[in-house]
Amino acid sequence: MFKKGEQDVLSALDQTNYENERIKILLNEHEMPTHWYNICSDLKNPLAPPLNPGTGEPIGPEDLAPLFPMELIMRMKE
Amino acid sequence: MPTHWYNICSDLKTPLAPPLNPGTGEPIGPEDLAPLFPMELIMQEVSTDREIEIPDQVREIYRQWRPSPLYRARKLEKALDTPAKIYYKYEGVSPSGSHKPNTAVPQAYYNKQEGVKRLTTETGAGQWGSSLAFAGSIFGLEVDVYMVKVSFNQKPYRRALMESFGARCVASPSNETESGKAILKDSPDSTGSLGIAISEAVEMAAQRDDTKYALGSVLNHVLLHQTIIGQESMKQLEIAGDEPDVIVGCTGGGSNFAGIAFPFIGRNLRGESKTRIVAVEPANCPTLTKGKYAYDFGDTGHLTPLVKMHTLGSAFVPPGFHAGGLRYHGMSPLVSHLANENEIECTSYKQLECFEAGVTFAKAEGILPAPEANHAVKGAIVEALKAKEEGQSKTILFNLCGHGHFDMQAYTDYFGGKLKDQDYDESEVAMALANLPSVSA
């Protein structure tokens, strides 16, 4: 049981005892990533473009507009 | 993480009434419990020490999921448009998705230490059974679980989880025990109850020297192990810079409620705080709000000692509603004692309003609570709306004792309009209470 004033001591003890045998490695909320990573930027060869099944031509953003919001289409292009 | 469990018996203003031997009417001693429990747990059951050290091996297993997170329910506060601050302690992060491993692990540990090979137990919703199955698998113990038949049929995935951990799961009442056979003879279609399942598990444990019994709630040592919840919450709230005005938990046998509330009630008892404590139970198994505070058996087959508790009568079989963990005729003697001394407030809500509260919570916070936990959610929402009405910024803490991922049939039935608010059968309770054992105490 924690007693007032002893909590910091207990935490310190916790760290001494468990630092080397920690089970869970947790991040703080502020340590959460601020950006997604886009693997297309690092591909050795670019991805083959999606094709319009009617024309056989690469499709443009406007072809996807009925299905997805523009922001997500722009992410796909990147 | 706390290094000790907190024993509320050390701070009680009046001592707990002792358990009695049903044959002699005399208080039972540790030796009477020895066939069922390892000595270390019996000593914890009768201890009045304020702190009991958590063994290192148990703490090491606790660390797999503990400390559990304390959440500030900011999105629920916004959805309710309340000035209240709502915090919830989330026990659904454990291996079995509820608070139950907090006691399953130490119980399995002490049994292993004393050479026990097999554990028997009962389970309602399956949260306790799967937790003991998990703990048994860690320590290499066989685990036989008697699962209340209505839940056994409603929750095949809970059974699969128990079997994944290597346990055997049997629908109760079963033909494996004399207690089960007696029930089936009178009522072949019995849906079962925790009281019946306890009889079956106790009977099996008493038959073999290498087998002992483990209980998932009610007893002092079980509630003791759960106090890690409230102690962590206390520290987490201190970090958040808040102090709770009211604490809410749901009660079936009393263990998750005790877990979050006892460390705070202890502070109240020592005169250090005046936190309101609210126990919420289902309206159709209203043990604390409608039951009698009297000596009764803990099981239907009358194999257990007599304990003084709030009871609906050991013959009462609660209706088959969807919160199997709360379908118990009795209540922990400690929680009953505190209710009787007015240290806690007790209230009950109906099934449908609890599911409605659970869905409101899930939409805001993204966690679908177990049907049992919905009672605590309902209690917390009522407090938050009261704060709004009074224009007061209260701080509310409640125990979200488990997630509802194994309870989707209950939610399917709820959304399909199949759940009804059945009242409990008053005449059945009256009959069950008329048959309370007579004791002089």
| pLDDT over 70, % of chain B | 100
Domain contains A20: yes
How confident is the model at residue A15, as a pLDDT? 55
* B5 part of contact set with chain A, CB < 8 Å: yes
Domain contains B113: yes
Cβ-based contacts of B227 with chain A (< 8 Å): 1
How far B220 CA sits from the closest chain A CA (Å)? 17
Residue A15: Cβ-neighbour burial (10 angstroms; 0-12, 13-18, 19+): exposed
Last-in-domain residue among B215, B250, B269: B215
Do both B246 and B167 map to the same domain? no
> Is the confidence at residue A4, as pLDDT, over 70?
no
Which among B274, B404, B240, B440 is positioned nearest to B342, based on CA atoms?
B274
Chain A to chain B, count of Cβ pairs less than 8 Å apart? 23
Domain contains A50: yes
CA atoms within 13 A on the CB side of B157: 9
Mean pLDDT of the B128-132 span: 98
Do both B76 and B112 map to the same domain? no
Contact check, Cβ <8 Å, A2/B64: no
* B126 part of contact set with chain A, CB < 8 Å: no
What band does B370 get if pLDDT is binned at 50, 70 and 90?
very high
* B228 part of contact set with chain A, CB < 8 Å: no
How far B60 CA sits from the closest chain A CA (Å)? 9
How confident is the model at residue A5, as a pLDDT? 53
Do both B292 and B409 map to the same domain? yes
Domain count, chain B: 2
Domain contains B10: no
How confident is the model at residue B22, as a pLDDT? 87
Domain contains B47: no
Do both B335 and B419 map to the same domain? yes
- Tens of pLDDT, residues B209-245: 999 999 999 999 999 999 999 999 999 999 999 999 9
Do both B384 and B352 map to the same domain? yes
CATH code for the domain in which residue B284 is found: 3.40.50.1100
What band does B55 get if pLDDT is binned at 50, 70 and 90?
very high
Domain contains B170: yes
Do both B282 and B206 map to the same domain? no
Q: At what angle do helices B228-240 and B255-269 cross, to 10 degrees?
A: 60
Do both B308 and B406 map to the same domain? yes
In contact, B128 and B135? CB cutoff 8 Å: no
Q: What's the angle, vertex CA B352, arms to CA B347 and CA B354, rounded to 5?
A: 50
Contact check, Cβ <8 Å, B3/A24: no
Alpha carbon distance B275, B26 (integer Å): 37
In this complex, the residue of A7, A18, A23 whose CB is nearest that of residue B235 is A7
Domain contains A1: no
Cβ-based contacts of B2 with chain A (< 8 Å): 1-2
Domain contains B109: yes
Q: Which residue has the higher pLDDT, B24 or B400?
A: B400
How confident is the model at residue B438, as a pLDDT? 85
Helices (H), B187-316: 194-207, 220-226, 228-240, 255-269, 287-290
Do both B244 and B342 map to the same domain? yes
Contact check, Cβ <8 Å, A7/B231: no
> Is the confidence at residue B111, as pLDDT, over 90?
yes
- Omega before B67 within 30 of 0, i.e. cis: yes
Do both B179 and B233 map to the same domain? no
How confident is the model at residue B325, as a pLDDT? 77
In contact, B334 and B223? CB cutoff 8 Å: yes
Domain count, chain A: 1
How confident is the model at residue A6, as a pLDDT? 52
Which residues form the domain of A68?
A: 7-77
Amino acid at B185: K
> Is the confidence at residue B330, as pLDDT, over 80?
yes
- Tens of pLDDT, residues A35-57: 999 999 999 999 999 999 999 99
Contact check, Cβ <8 Å, A1/B238: no
In contact, B303 and B202? CB cutoff 8 Å: yes
Mean pLDDT of the B265-277 span: 98
Q: Which residue has the higher pLDDT, B323 or B234?
A: B234
Domain contains B318: yes
Cβ-based contacts of B3 with chain A (< 8 Å): 10
Alpha carbon distance B145, B136 (integer Å): 11
Domain contains B55: no
Contact check, Cβ <8 Å, A18/B4: no
Which residues form the domain of B348?
A: 65-97+221-433
How confident is the model at residue B323, as a pLDDT? 77
Last-in-domain residue among B215, B248, B282: B215
Domain contains A15: yes
Do both B348 and B203 map to the same domain? no
Contact check, Cβ <8 Å, B231/A2: yes
Q: Which of B5, B70, B235 to mutate to test the interface with A (most CBs of A within 10 A)?
A: B235
* Predicted ipTM beyond 0.85: no
Cβ-based contacts of B263 with chain A (< 8 Å): 1
> Is the confidence at residue A18, as pLDDT, over 90?
no
How confident is the model at residue A3, as a pLDDT? 52
> Is the confidence at residue A28, as pLDDT, over 70?
yes
Contact check, Cβ <8 Å, B4/A1: yes
Cβ-based contacts of A18 with chain B (< 8 Å): 63
How confident is the model at residue B391, as a pLDDT? 96
Do both B355 and B267 map to the same domain? yes
| pLDDT over 70, % of chain A | 72
How confident is the model at residue B52, as a pLDDT? 98
Contact check, Cβ <8 Å, B234/A18: no
Last-in-domain residue among B215, B243, B261: B215
Mean pLDDT of the B30-53 span: 96
What band does A11 get if pLDDT is binned at 50, 70 and 90?
low
In contact, B303 and B273? CB cutoff 8 Å: no
How confident is the model at residue B426, as a pLDDT? 87
What band does B326 get if pLDDT is binned at 50, 70 and 90?
confident
Domain contains B39: no
Do both B377 and B307 map to the same domain? yes
Domain contains A2: no
DSSP B22: T
